[in-house]
Chain A
């Protein structure tokens, strides 16, 4: 029997039981759609994040933090609370280490900025403007105004989103504006609000991304000395280390030297390590999600098997007729497998399409605006855009998997159909 005839016969059988075939297909559609949606979202997210990390992160920098600080390395989890404090002037120790170009201390506290009637919550970052601009020469750049390298005490540099939080040109604050900067000191009882007035000297050009480690669109920057007096501390959160080069040998030796210099009480993270960690996390998440989606396909497969066994019983007589007419076992097998192939292909096609639609809908929902408003106060958050990515591999994989599941689960019923003896099948009532 010709393959085209086998397929058209199988197709006729499917068409006869539209509802049932539709429901069987739906199982495959849901499984494939889930896989495609999850994969394209995670891949999109991964692309977004690594792009943003790369743009906010120079490869020839290290970030030194206390073990209480942001822990990306395994050591951070085990470390107990220690009294060790990372001080602003430790940059001098680090600067002595070979292959270190320079280092810059960063103090970061959550606070408020008020301009006119409006107030935003954001991160207040204290840095040495000259050194910071040197390390992040691509991102710590003024769009408006000037970043003074020896700033006045009251100088403030604001991120693009702080100046223009609605992304429509309506400025919250601009160069030369006076802003009120507030920080709640929770270490005193009762907590006390500290406030001072600063003058916006520059607005950074748009960076995009999280500004992980480096500058961010949603931060404001004040001179390190001002931060020390304002926050009443010499302790900093991180020290950014600029290396002479980004060889992995340099990264390793400097990291070790810094850890040693502080008796193992600090974490040293290289940007490449962070990128690696992030991509490892993503692969794991991707694998996990795909696994879950795959289980739904497995369920769909069992549905296919179930329905095929039922339809096998209904069609026993038909199989008897076909065999009496001289159809070979393998042709009967092919007919039943073709039905599974048709269901699998249709399910995969509809599944890929609806998975893609789903991914885009989800991405749209989760890509919040740059800014969340709550009454008069509002928190600025980094606008993160997820663009789902649908690679040919995913499409092909989805088709292959849909087909594979359908065929595998149809194998047993089809085999049973093919083995029916003609007399028995014809006698079947």
Chain B
């Protein structure tokens, strides 16, 4: 019974989620009441024109920002009630892949992946071993000691994915992961992400303009003007 209930609890759920930015005195309604449920093991694409609020939504789900109103539940816990510290702990359990990689320039590929694991306080040997495994998984075993500036866009994005996976996150959030790389490399990244979902059961929410990615996912939602207007199961 208990197990069933847990199964039923969505890993991510947003309820009437609103976000209003104030540009001076002009309010910008980035989200206007988004209701979304994501189950464990899902692979969801969020589509929509530029400015429709996709990144804003992803930031709310990733506990990087707080909603103006409405709620975000992560495994049934209301994130808006959490303290700064608890939010930080929560973020440790969420893998975030950014459009612009956001790697730390002075650290090597391995250093960037390891850094994620120093935050929960993993020991040196264990995090080094895991970083090497992860970089191997994303196909970068021969680029471990390269700094971001010495890597191609596709390689950087793979480092970012390896980093996002380092702490065994509950789910992976990706904001236009292929937005800054060529279509061939993008294809490889898509394959990698798909494999993660299929083989390792990682829950993935990806924001994209890219139809190629959207077609590979299990489910897509379409956003316009801060609202989800269409849901489709592939």
Contact = CB atoms under 8 A, between A and B. Distances in A.
B151 interface: no
B119 A329 contact: no
Interface residues of A, number: 24
Interface residue SS majority, chain A: helix
A317 B91 contact: no
Interface in B87-103: 88-94, 96, 98, 102-103
A326 interface: yes
Nearest to B90: A326
Interface string B67-101: 00000000000000000110011111110101000
A324 B104 contact: no
Given A325-B115, A328-B85, A426-B102, A12 B62 contact: no
Interface residues of B, number: 28
A357 to B, nearest CB: 34
B118 A329 contact: no
A12 B120 CA distance: 19
Contact of B119 (A331, A421, A423): A331
Nearest to B63: A422
A318 B104 contact: yes
A247 interface: no
A9 B64 contact: no
Contacts of A422: 64-65, 91
A324 B118 contact: no
Contacts of B94: 326
Given A324-B62, A422-B64, A9 B91 contact: no
B92 A326 contact: yes
A324 B102 contact: yes
A321 interface: yes
Contact of A325 (B84, B85, B91): B91
Contacts of A16: 106
A13 interface: yes
Interface string A298-310: 0000000000000
A327 interface: yes
B64 A324 contact: yes
Contacts of A329: 84-85, 88
Given A12-B106, A13-B106, A426-B98, A326 B118 contact: no
Given A1-B121, A422-B64, A325 B116 contact: yes
B88 A328 contact: yes
B59 interface: yes
Contacts of A318: 104
Contacts of A2: 118, 121
A426 B64 CA distance: 10
Interface of A: 1-2, 5, 9, 12-13, 16, 317-318, 320-329, 331, 421-423, 426
Given A326-B119, A422-B91, 10 more contacts: A9-B118, A16-B106, A317-B102, A320-B102, A323-B64, A323-B88, A324-B64, A325-B92, A328-B84, A328-B85
10 tightest A-B contacts by CB? A326-B92, A326-B91, A5-B118, A423-B65, A328-B88, A422-B64, A423-B64, A321-B102, A16-B106, A326-B88
